[in-house]
Every structure is written in C-alpha cells, then in structure tokens.
Amino acid sequence: MSPLQRDAVSSGNLALPPLNFRAARRRLVGGLAASIVIPIVLVWLYASYTYHRAITEESSTLNRFAWIAEAKVTDLLDVNRQLIARADDAIGSRDALQVSRDAQYLHTVFASLVASQPQIATLSVVDSDGKLLVSSRYFPAPNVSIGGRDDFTSTRATLSRFHISLPQRGPIQGIDIVSSLSARVAHDGRFLGALVISLHRDHLVRFYQQLHAEHHAVTVGLYRDDGAILVRFPPALLPHPPATHQLLAGEFVRKPERGFSKIDSPLDGKPKLLAYRRAGPYPVYVSAGLATADIVNSWLRDDMSIVLAALLPCTFLWALIIFSLRRLRAEESSWNSWRHELSRRQAAEVAARRMQRMGALGNLVASVAHDFNNLLMVVGANMEIVRRKGYNGVKPEIDAVERASVTARALARRLMSVARRTPLRVQTVQPGQWLTETKPLIASALGSDVSLHIDAIKSSWPVAVDASEMTSALVNIAVNAKDAMPQGGSFAIRCSNITFATSQHGLTPGHYVEFACEDSGTGMVPEVYQHAFEPLFTTKQAGAGTGLGLAQVAAMAEQAGGTARIDTSVGRGTTIFFYLPRLIEDAVAKTPGPIASAAESDHARPTLLLVEDNEEVAAGLAAVIDVLGWTARHVPSGDAALGILEEGCAFDLVLSDIQMPGTYDGIRLVEWVKQRRPTQAVTLMTGYAEHLETARRLGVAVLSKPFNADDLDALLSSIRPMQTRY
C-alpha cells in the first residue's frame, strides 16, 4: 500500500462468503466435552454400582464362609460338651483319690467316648492342682500336670464350665492342640479339678484350608471372645503377629452375635472386610475376611476392563473431534490469511487508483504551476524593467501588480509544493527545539480563541526535512484546526519517538518521529476525511479555501520519507498525525551554494548565455539581465547553446533552463560543459524539485523558479566576469 495511509481503506466491506469458525469450534468443543463428560458420568455410575455390587457379593461370600465355619466349630464344641457331660457322668462325684483308684475303668470309658472322634487328641481329667488323673489315650496316666497353665488357673478361678485355651503344644504327645476345660465342682462348691478335651489344632486348620481353597483370597479365623487367636488360615503374613486381635474383640463386644466390619488386620497389616459369627452359645467366634485391595482388584479386573473396552470407541471419537478441531484451526488460519491477502490486495488496488488520481492531479497542478511560474517571471521581469526605467508615472499601478505577483508567486510555490515539485532545502531538524521556536507562529495562526499546548520531549530524534515546508505544514494544520473550532477550543501538538516493528500506516519498519496535532473541533465525516489529503479538495466556500493545506502536509511528510494520516470523529475533534523518519546519520546533502563556480572578470559588461525555450520568459530575463549590466545572448534550446559553445564562444555565465526540447536539456548541457569547459560558470533554472538532485550531483547552482530580479542580481553579482567574449 502506498504511504498515503490517510485514506481509510476498510476491508470490512469485502463481500466474503460467511464462515462461522467460532460456531463450528463451539459445536466441536461442546461435542468433545459431551463425549468426555457423558461417558465419564456413565462410567462413574457403572463403577459405583458394580463396586457396591462387588462389596455386596463379597460380603455375602464372607457371610457364607463364616456361617460354614461357625457350623463346623459349633458342631465340634457341641460334641465336646456332650463328651464332657458323659465323662462327667462316668466320673460322678468321685474325688481325686477315687478317680485315681478307678483310673483304669475311667480310662476305658474315656477311650471309648473319643474312639469315634478323630479331632480329639485326648479326653482327660485333672485334679484340683492340675495333675493328670485319667487320660483317654494313656493308662496309667503319665505323671504330668497342667497346674501352671493359664487355661487351668483361669478355669479354677472362675469354675468355668467351658473355658477354651490358647493354641499350645500338648505336654505328652507334643502336638498342637486347643483345649476346652470344664471345671468339676463338688456339691459344697469345692473345685475338684477339670475335665479337659484337647482338640487337634490341625483338624481345624485342615477344615479352614478346605474353605480357603474355595476362595483363595478369603482368610478364615477362630477367635476366643477376648480376641485371642486360636486358628487362622492362611497363617498371618507378618513375621511376629500378635496373639490377640484387639479390634475384632471390640467388635465382639459391640455386636456379640455376628457382625461385619472394615478393619485393619493386625495379622496382615492390610485393611480388610470381615464377617464374624459367634459359635453357638460358646465364647468363640469364627471369621472370614477379605483384603479390600483384593476386592478392588477383582472389581477392577472384572468390571473395569469392560469399562475400558466400552471407552475404546470413545477414544476414537475424541481423536476424531480433536483432529477436526485441528483441521478447523488450520482452515481458519488459511481463511484468515486469504481474507487478509484479499483485503490487502483490495486496499492496494484502492490505493493504486487513488495514487493514479492523485498523480494525475499532481501533474495537472504542476503543469499549471509551471506555466504560471513562467508567466510570473515575465511579469516580474517586465516590472523590474519598468521600475529601473523610472516608472513613467505608473508607480502605484506597478506596486499593485508587484503585490499581486508576490501573492501569485506564493500560490505557485504552494501548488508546486503540493505537486511535490518544489526544490527542497533539506536540513537536520531537532523536533523539540524546532517546535519551541515555531510555537509563536502556530499560536498566531490559531488566534486568541484557541489554546495551544506543545508536548515534545527534548530527546526526540532528529529528522531530515525542509524546515520551511514543515513550518507551512504545521501552520496549515493549525489554520484548519482554527476553522474547525469557530467558538474556540484547544489545539495540542505532541511529538514523540516511535518504533514500528512491522509495517504500519504504509511505512516500512523502523524509527520515526510522530507528530500528533489534535484539535477539539468539529471532526470530519467519512466523506470528508477520505478526501481531505487530496489536492484542491475543500469543503470551504468558494474563495475561502484552496484545498491545498493537508495536501501540502502529506507532500511534505512523504517527500521526507514519512507519511500522514487522520484520526477523526464527528463532534470529538481531529488529530492529524505525520511521521518523519529518524535521521540516523548525516544524510542531508549539502545544498550547493547559489553559485557553483565563478569566473572573475573586470570587463564592464559581462556576458551571459541564456538558454530558455520560453520566448517570453527569455525576453523578460534578457531585459532584466541587460538592466543589471550584463549582456545576454539568448538561445531557445540546449542544442543551440551547444552549437555556440562548440564554435568556441565563451561566456561569463551560462544560465540554462533544465526542461527543454531537443537532444540536450539543461542537465546534459551542463554535463557537456563540465567535461569540455571545466572553468565555465553554469547555473541552472528550474521549478521542479526532481531536477535538484541531478543538479546537486553535478555540483551546479540552481535558481528556483519563480525567482525575482533580486535573486538574479545576487547571482550575477557573485560571478566574477572573465575576459571572454562571443
């Protein structure tokens, strides 16, 4: 896009097919969320349902195991009780002495009682000190005593009819037994001793083993009501398990018949689910337990694998949606870049058309101004002649023409400036300092009703610009601001350093000085601000405005390598921005002095070769030159001048227009002169800025059209005539 960023080229009016990416993305994200949330909720419901089902199922398994174990133990203990009752009957009221006397008889009875009970190791009777009197297994009874055993002392102390011992090693056979003791009490309440049935502990273990075989994760246990562990299968995992299960004992107290609890097993060190039951009327409990981790594991294995299998299609769905989202993003980005490209192209086309129009307008303005300049030169030259001839009584009239031609020259210069044809005097400007110096001028342009505020940092970067053009630009902006604030208001100029990392406002990335000129005026409607920078565009009444003010601002900024733009809104005021590139190094070419070379001459009438295609301009100039004491020889083209010079004629000065018909224009003529007559003084005349650079390169002085007799006089005075004649 051209630097003429001031036009608001909008891409909003592009007729693009509607594509609502946001809605599509919303739908996809919604679908993704639903496809995640719904299965997760269902999985959660299913998982909690199956988990509770697993717990219920395992609980009933444990209850069943506990029930079977309880039945078995109750049977055993019932048998025990019956045997004890029979043995008791057989002993009758015999005291220890009598029992010893009838030991053989009692041994036979006892042996026959336990003959069909393989689970029973021995049925025996001990006296009140624990000394063995009769044993079903041995006759005579070995001389052993259980008087020191806890179970005996406890039975003696409580006179318990049923006391069960801890597991122990049998004193005679050396096998693991669990004994049940029943106190024998005389009619007078004396403790006579105890009947002792020793059960093979292995018998119980084997039974529990069978139960365990049905469900390998289940542990089965037999406990006394105080929590003492009688049998457990499989054996405890811990190396030194406790002899009692205190937690379970607490549960027995809480719920004495049967119960179900979740407790940390002191035997395995694992959290467990336990079902326990009391064995009939006996102070003994059976339990069946499962580690909760095992329950969870089997639940995960059985039910969660189904869940995972069900989630598999979901993962495909998720992958599909994520893939679609990515595609959508890619499509959106290409859509955006396409749209961006399209709008960029359309903006470029609009700008190009605008530039063409502006260029054509600029050319028209330039050509009018050029002719205007020439006419002014004629008028000026002839006025000068009249003045030098003593006016002949028309001095007031000549003065009036003079004043009008000054205004006309200013207008011509403005036109040339807008058409970017003004020869520039580029110099280094420090914006902060320059604004301070220009402040009074701007203030007077604004008038007394408008307050002026200037905000410029001292460290603002220097710029390379034609200072007089910049002054004109600021005055133009100030005058516009004043016109936009008929009731008064405020006008502020802010100057700041700004760096564009990317192209902005049609400027290439780099460092710029930004001038923001803000007024509190009426603002502009779009139809105005879109054309405000165009030359000759004005909304003012005929004669009130030329429409060259903002065009000059834009021309000044662009000629300096920057740009200008408008920010305005109706009722809120206008800010005119212009950007000038930061001057990095001393890029300002030195404008050659008015005279590139001078030749000394002490001759009375120095000579000048005037090369000018416009006859009237030439005639006027020749007259003025004559008045100034020089002799001018006029030729209408560069080719003609070349012919004369080639003939060997020499002049104190060759004064040539630049743009002329023929092979040799002013520039080529100078090149020829520089090569062949290096000592020949040459000065060029032009109204076009673009010729300046070439002239500078050649090191030739340039008179900027329109110039007046004084400018010419200054030029001729600086030339030292040579001893040359034509």
Ligand X SMILES: Nc1ncnc2c1ncn2[C@@H]1O[C@H](COP(=O)(O)OP(=O)(O)OP(=O)(O)O)[C@@H](O)[C@H]1O
By CB under 5 A, name the binding residues for Mg ion.
Answer: 480, 549
223 binds, among Mg ion, ligand X, none (CB under 5 to 8 A by kind): none
Among 147, 280, 283, 545, binds ligand X (CB under 6 A): 545
Please, what is the minimum distance in Å from the beta carbon of residue 540 to Mg ion?
Answer: 8
Dihedral, 685, 687, 688, 693 alpha carbons, nearest 10: 40
Query: DSSP of 557-624, one letter per residue?
Result: HHHTT-EEEEEEETTTEEEEEEEEEB--S--PPPPPPS-S-------SS-EEEEE-S-HHHHHHHHHH
Q: Does 572 bind ligand X (CB under 6 A)?
A: no
- For ligand X, which residue of 550, 632, 655, 716 counts as binding (CB under 6 A)? 550
* 537 contacts ligand X (rule: CB under 6 A): yes
Quick check: 540 binds ligand X (CB under 6 A)? yes
Integer Cα distance of 83 and 117 in angstroms: 10
Query: By CB under 6 A, is residue 528 in contact with ligand X?
Result: yes
DSSP secondary structure letter of residue 515: E
- What whole-number distance in Å separates Cα of residue 578 and Cα of residue 550? 11
Least distance in Å: CB of 622 to ligand X? 36
Helix (H) or strand (E) holding 159: none
**Close Cβ partners of 642 (under 8 Å, ≥ 6 residues apart):** 664, 669, 672
Site string for ligand X, 454-483 (x = CB under 6 A): ----------------------x---xx--
Peptide bond into 256 cis (omega under 30): no
521 binds ligand X (CB under 6 A): yes
Which of ligand X, Mg ion, none does residue 638 bind to, with CB < 5 to 8 Å depending on kind? none
Separation of alpha carbons 364 and 351, rounded Å: 19
Of 28-36, 251-259, 292-300, 515-523: span binding ligand X (CB under 6 A): 515-523
Write down the least CB distance from residue 493 to ligand X, Å. 13
Closest CA to 335 of 14, 595, 723: 14
Burial class (CB in 10 A: 0-12, 13-18, 19+), 326: exposed
Distance of closest approach, residue 536 Cβ to ligand X, in angstroms: 8
- Least distance (Å) from ligand X to the CB of residue 539? 3
Shorter beta-carbon distance to Mg ion: residue 204 or 554: 554
Q: What is the CA radius of gyration of the chain?
A: 61
**Contact at 8 Å (CB) between 266 and 244?**
no
Closest contact distance (angstroms) between CB of 546 and ligand X is 4
The item of ligand X, Mg ion, none sharing an interface with residue 546, based on CB under 5 to 8 Å by kind, is ligand X
Buried b (16+ CB within 10 A) or exposed e, 477-516: bbbbbbbbbeeebbbbbbbeebeeeeebbbbeebebbbbb
Q: Which residues in 396-455 contact ligand X (CB under 6 A)?
A: none
- Examine residue 538 and tell whether it contacts ligand X (CB under 6 A): yes
| Nearest to ligand X of 521, 721 (CB atom) | 521
- Closest distance to ligand X from the beta carbon of 644 (Å): 45
Name which of 537 and 664 has its Cβ closer to Mg ion: 537
Residue closer to ligand X (CB basis): 461 or 533: 533
574 binds ligand X (CB under 6 A): yes
Contact (CB, 8 A) for 11 and 347: yes
Q: In the complex, what is the shortest distance from the CB of residue 355 to ligand X, in angstroms, rounded to a whole number?
A: 18
Q: Contact region for ligand X (CB under 6 A) — 447-455, 530-538, 584-592, 596-604?
A: 530-538
For residue 456, the cross-strand partners are 495
In eight-state DSSP terms, residue 705 is: S
Structure tokens that stand for 343 in this block: 């709008």
Residue 578 binds ligand X, judged by CB under 6 A: no
Residues 6+ away with beta carbon under 8 Å from 705 = 373, 374, 377, 685, 686, 687
Interacting stretch for ligand X, rule CB under 6 A, among 14-22, 327-335, 384-392, 536-544?
536-544
The β-bridge partners of 502 are: none
Q: Does 706 bind ligand X (CB under 6 A)?
A: no
Q: Which is nearer to Mg ion, 472 or 614 (CB)?
A: 472
Nearest distance, CB of residue 445 and ligand X, angstroms: 11
Q: Contacting ligand X (CB under 6 A), which of 519, 652, 657, 665?
A: 519
Q: Which is nearer to ligand X, 241 or 547 (CB)?
A: 547
* Cβ atoms of 576 and 679 closer than 8 Å: no
Please report the beta strands in 474-557, taking only residues with DSSP state E, as ranges in sequence order. 489-500, 510-519
Tell me which of 196, 267, 532, 622 binds ligand X, using CB under 6 A: 532
The option from ligand X, Mg ion, none interacting with 540 (CB < 5 to 8 A, set by class) reads ligand X
Q: Does 492 bind ligand X (CB under 6 A)?
A: no
Binding region for ligand X (CB under 6 A) = 476, 480-481, 484, 519, 521-522, 524, 528, 532, 537-540, 545-551, 574
